[in-house]
Amino acid sequence: MTVKPAAVAVPDRLHLRERDEVVRVHRLSDWVARDTPAIAELLQECDLLAIRVSQVLRGTSERIAMRWIFGIETHLLGFFERASSLPDEKAEQELARAQRKRLAEVEAYYHRAASKAGRILIMNGMLIGLALAAVLGALAWLLLWVAGLRGDELQVPIICYGAGALGALVSVMSRMGKPEIGRFNVDFELGRPLIRRLGVYRPFVGAILGVALYFLLAGGLLDISVAKADVPYYYGFAAFLAGFSERFAPVVFGAAERRLGMSEDRGKEKAPARAQEAE
């Protein structure tokens, strides 16, 4: 087992980041376990789990898991030092069974630690995405203001834009509390950059849904009447729900789609009738 410091592009002089190290477990071959297939298979499973741990976990959790795996492999190889010239098959099976349980405990620890790391990564990505969405929203507001739109005409769309992005952020934060029951699941073996990018995209999706909902309601596609003084609050909360709930937006947009479909069907029915009247 080797541990060496990872190359750091930017020095962490304030010690804000956890110490990142490259931890590896090395094993040459199975020649010593050629007469004990159960131990040889278990050693191979240890190596495969060590690869997954080294690629996904970082910091303290990685060192704990790797030391755990290293201890299991050391105990397995110690069997050949403790055994006589001819390995006892019964003792081999008992050792393999006991150490397989230990390896299952390591894998369970790996899944818990990787799940938490994945949630932290996606949350970091969402904060980055929220900052980028804020910059993009400010730039869009400036361009529309230069184009001649008044401040009160931009107020409600900007509110919906920001409310949708915040709704997406709050949605993910609320579902992170209980990932074990399936409310928030992330494939942590996708890799740290991809998980972070998934988080970056989520506020933009919420912001787009919020603006789309504003145009839907302002266009009168749904039979909803709101007092003029309450428009910013009503539209802002509706946009927040569009970003927060994965069910609310499809229901509202589905109703608008059906309304448009009915309008098109009525138009097609009226066209032949007008043609007959013209004849």
- Using one digit for the tens of pLDDT, what is the confidence trace for 77-87? 887 777 665 56
In 10 A of CB 162, how many CB atoms? Answer: 22
Q: What is the pLDDT of residues 179-204, one digit of tens each?
A: 555 555 677 777 788 888 888 988 99
Q: Is the pLDDT of residue 275 over 50?
A: no
What pTM, to 2 d.p., does this model score? 0.69
Structure tokens at 223: 């039979």
Query: Which range, of 162-171, 222-231, 258-267, averages the lowest pLDDT?
Result: 258-267
For residue 152, the model assigns a pLDDT of 64
Q: Which band of pLDDT confidence, cut at 50, 70 and 90, is reported for residue 23?
A: confident
Residue type for 267, please?
G
What span, in angstroms and rounded, lies between the C-alpha atoms of 139 and 133? 10
111 near 103, Cβ under 8 Å? no
Q: How confident is the model at residue 267 (pLDDT cuts 50, 70, 90)?
A: low
Whole-number average pLDDT of the chain? 78
Q: Report helix, strand or coil for 150.
A: coil
Residue 7 per-residue DSSP state: P
- For residue 189, give both structure tokens: 């073996």
Q: What angle do CA 248, 250, 253 make, to 5 degrees?
A: 105
In this predicted model, which residue has the larger pLDDT, 258 or 216? 216
Residue 104 has pLDDT above 90, yes or no: yes
At 4, the amino acid letter reads K
The CB-side HSE value for 192 (13 A sphere, CA atoms) comes to 13
Burial level of 136, CB count in 10 A (0-12/13-18/19+)? middle
Give the pLDDT of residue 14: 46
Classify residue 100 by its DSSP letter. H
Q: For the chain, give the percent of residues with pLDDT over 70.
A: 79
Inter-residue contact 133 to 208 (CB < 8 Å): no
Q: pLDDT tier at 16 (50, 70, 90 boundaries)?
A: very low
Under DSSP, is residue 4 helix (H, G, I), strand (E, B) or coil?
strand
Q: For the purposes of burial, counting CB atoms within 10 Å of the CB of 123, is it exposed (0-12), middle (13-18) or buried (19 or more)?
A: middle
pLDDT band at 5 (very low <50, low <70, confident <90, very high): confident
Residue 136 pLDDT > 70, yes or no? yes
Distance CA 51, CA 64 (A): 14
Q: What is the C-alpha to C-alpha distance for residues 245 and 128, in angstroms, rounded to an integer?
A: 21
Tokens of 26: 């090395």
DSSP-derived 3-state class of residue 23? strand
Q: Mean pLDDT across the stretch 232-240?
A: 86
Give dist(CA 243, CA 174) in Å, integer: 13
With pLDDT > 90 as the criterion, what percentage of the chain qualifies? Answer: 7
Other Cβ atoms within 10 Å of 256 Cβ, number: 17
Tokens of 67: 């030391």
106 pLDDT tier (thresholds 50, 70, 90): very high
